[in-house]
Amino acid sequence: MKIRALLLFSVFSLFSQPSYSTVYDLPAKAGDRVIAEYPNEIAVTRAEQNETLLDVARRFSLGQVEIIRLNQDLDRWLIKKDQVITLPNKRILPDSPHVGITLNIAEYRMYYYSPNGKVYSFAHGVGRQDWKTPLGRTTIQKKVKDPVWRPPESIRREHAANGDPLPEVVPAGIHNPLGAYALYLNLPGDYRIHGTDVDKIFGIGMQITHGCVRMYPEDIDALFHMVNEGTPVYIVKQPIKVGWLDNVLYVEIHPDLEGEETTPEQRVASALALIQKANHDELPQYDEAALKEAAEKQTGNPTAIYTRVLSPEEEAAEAALLAAEAEKAEKANVAPPVKPIAPVAKTTVAPIAKFAPKSKTVATKKPTVSTKVTAIKATKPIVKPPPKPAATSGYHKP
């Protein structure tokens, strides 16, 4: 068994525009469920000034829980200049149809499967323990720009009890908790996928709403203009995901939501059931230490636990299948489903060995690692957002 070592790093500069959703190609091989921006590398950034992990999350349109779990050894409130921060690279697609939108509330992340063959991934907030976001299949019932919020009586009572009374109607504007765009779901209870106001911008990627799904302003803007009314929406809760990429099996484990508590042993047991299912109902000779560490740390980062070794005949059959899929895509005047490698940025530096993760290799032969260092988000400049305006009193809290 071989475990692929991810030892390459890219360190890049911050530019002058905000970051938006991450866009992925679907895996080239049918049945694979792991998507990646860049192959064989870990994505990182280096702080150019003292800041917080929340600032980093905002700059890269990541959720709070996500950035904190990926950087458990760092102080979320004080990231010093030149410190290296780990960013997500690979993700395992949720176990749901690859059409429309899938919201995986366990990872505070949604996936939009566009008709153009791309997958758009966005961070989002979900309902807190006493206002849970409902699960199941639904559709987008209507789209509203500059929505007006009419808070339910239950929410008005809650705010009044906290000394923050709400009006019966909150007009559109920068202090409207629905933000500038709202996608109304075909569910009882007036549930929406919506933006956020300036006072709640740092609450994305947390269990904090009254049941709705809250997004960054630029992300809901993009999603709003990509989807149509009637688009299917699948709301799932999958804290543990398993998937293949190029004959390597990965597991991805996220922390429990509020009000739920599982032990590492329970998480391993759940993961094993999914691993067996993904491997034709047979449990492979997986890396037990890697799975145990993933269950304990719950970083949400896909961990390679098994490499499938193909016979020469199987390799030839797989190559022929990929070639056939590429030819079919070319005939349909669509680019083959293989993600190009971004050009090397001028700001890339040599690998930083001290930040390399521990390799779980158990093979007698060291796996080959590409020597190319690719640029991260080289096609879209990134910047720290402008300073957060001072909060004003009144009805801005949903």
Instruction: Show which residues are catalytic.
Output: 194, 212
Write b or e for each residue in 224-244: b if 16 or more Cβ atoms lie within 10 A of its Cβ, otherwise e. Answer: bebbeeebbbbbbbbbbbbbb
Give the torsion sign (CA, 173, 176, 178, 179): positive
Q: Which long-range contacts (CB under 8 A, 24 or more apart) does 268-273 make?
A: 268/292, 268/295, 270/240, 271/240, 271/242, 271/295
The 8-class DSSP code of residue 98 comes to S
User: Are 286 and 305 spatial neighbours (Cβ–Cβ below 8 Å)?
Assistant: yes
Cα separation, 327 vs 324, whole angstroms: 5
Neighbours of 367 (CB within 10 A): 16
Angle at alpha carbon of residue 151, lines to 149 and 155, rounded to 5°: 150
Measured CA to CA in angstroms, residue 104 lies from 16, 23, 123, 124 at distances of 31, 17, 10, 10
The amino acid sitting at 41 is E
Q: Which of 373, 337, 347, 359 is CA-nearest to residue 48?
A: 347
Neighbours of 97 (CB within 10 A): 11
Helix (H, G, I), strand (E, B) or coil at 223: helix
User: Are 377 and 16 spatial neighbours (Cβ–Cβ below 8 Å)?
Assistant: no
Cα separation, 383 vs 126, whole angstroms: 26
CB hemisphere CA count around 380 (13 angstroms)? 10
Neighbours of 355 (CB within 10 A): 14
The token duo for 87 is 């960013």
